Amino acid sequence: MKSLCVNVDHIATIREARKTNEPDPIHAAVLAELGGADGITIHLREDRRHIQDRDLRLMREVVKTKLNLEMAATSEMANIALEVKPDQVSVVPEKREEITTEGGLDVSGQIDYLTEVTKKLQSAGIPVSFFIDPDIDQVNASKKAGAVSIEINTGKYSESKDAEGKDLEIKKIQDAASKAAFLGLKVYAGHGLTYKNILSILKIREIEEFNIGHNIVARASMVGMEKAVGEMLQVIQSNVHQ
Ligand code: PXP
């Protein structure tokens, strides 16, 4: 069985566009769970551009499935995670100027530091996952640093324009997934996945969980549009003063 964690960051992006209180990512998380999601993923970024600290605290109370916190491996974030205790921490690289996470974590380049952060979180009972590119050296380093799982970055695959590029990326993802499973790591995947491009990734047996955000939120905004407009028309037409 393959499971799905729904990333609700971009519900918060819409809220933050107006600095108001709707739509609320907490409501989206509840609805995603009602829809069958196996987990809820949120990324508390250093600049708090979408998810806020309040969201994380409330999610911890409300989410009944698995709460996966994506975060940079800073001491501020590690302290927040130790306090809130999500069901999993996914360590991601973070740059202020990026629109979304760009590329995977360089585990081999900061292995001592990541080993220390991982140990701290895992000794508090929080399993740690690393978001990495499909690269064998990074898979080996993730195992060495003590991660329980890796999330393979499917960003490059999803951006590939032609069949040749896609095939090349699929091969890299397959090789990284096989190596990780061989080492006893759980294997997840995410970034840029859509209702269409996930089909090839589903053939990779070792991948047991997907983190998908933008495409689901985009679709939700479309499939709900007709109903939302109908409801506003109903309010207008039934309250017109002649
Ligand atoms: N996995 C990680 C580590 C991410 O940073 C993101 C984006 O927040 C996702 C998965 C989901 O990517 P998308 O929104 O493109 O589905």
Domains and CATH numbers, the chain: 3-239 (3.20.20.70)
From the CA of 70, give the closest atom in ligand 1.
3
* Confidence (pLDDT) at 184: 98
Whether the link from the prior residue into 23 is cis, omega within 30° of 0, is: yes
If you write DSSP's letter for every residue of 11-70 in order, what string do you get? HHHHHHHHTSS-S-HHHHHHHHHHTT-SEEEEE--TT-SSS-HHHHHHHHHH--S-EEEE
Taking every pair of C-alpha atoms in the chain, what is the biggest distance, in angstroms? 74
What is the whole-number distance in angstroms between the Cα of residue 43 and the centre of ligand 1? Answer: 9
What is the whole-number distance in angstroms between the Cα of residue 232 and the centre of ligand 1? Answer: 33
For residue 80, which amino acid is it?
Answer: I
Kindly state the tokens that stand for 158. Answer: 């999803």
From the CA of 191, give the closest atom in ligand 1.
12
* Confidence (pLDDT) at 97: 74
* Confidence (pLDDT) at 211: 98
* Alpha carbons within 13 A on the beta-carbon side of 79: 3
DSSP 97: T
What is the whole-number distance in angstroms between the Cα of residue 93 and the centre of ligand 1? Answer: 12
Cβ < 6 Å from ligand 1: which residues?
7, 9, 43, 70, 90, 92, 100-101, 131, 151, 190-193, 211-215
Q: Which residue, by CA, sits nearest to atom 3 of ligand 1?
A: 131
Q: Which residue, by CA, sits nearest to atom 9 of ligand 1?
A: 191
* Confidence (pLDDT) at 95: 79
pLDDT tens digits for the chain (242 residues)?
Answer: 899 999 999 999 999 999 999 999 999 999 999 999 999 999 999 999 999 999 999 999 999 999 999 999 999 999 999 999 999 999 999 877 777 777 999 999 999 999 999 999 999 999 999 999 999 999 999 999 999 999 999 999 999 999 999 999 999 999 999 999 999 999 999 999 999 999 999 999 999 999 999 999 999 999 999 999 999 999 999 998 86
* Closest listed residue to residue 66, CA positions, set 89, 44, 97, 50: 89
Residues known to be catalytic: 43, 70, 191
Extended beta strands in 61-158, E state: 67-71, 88-91, 128-132, 149-153
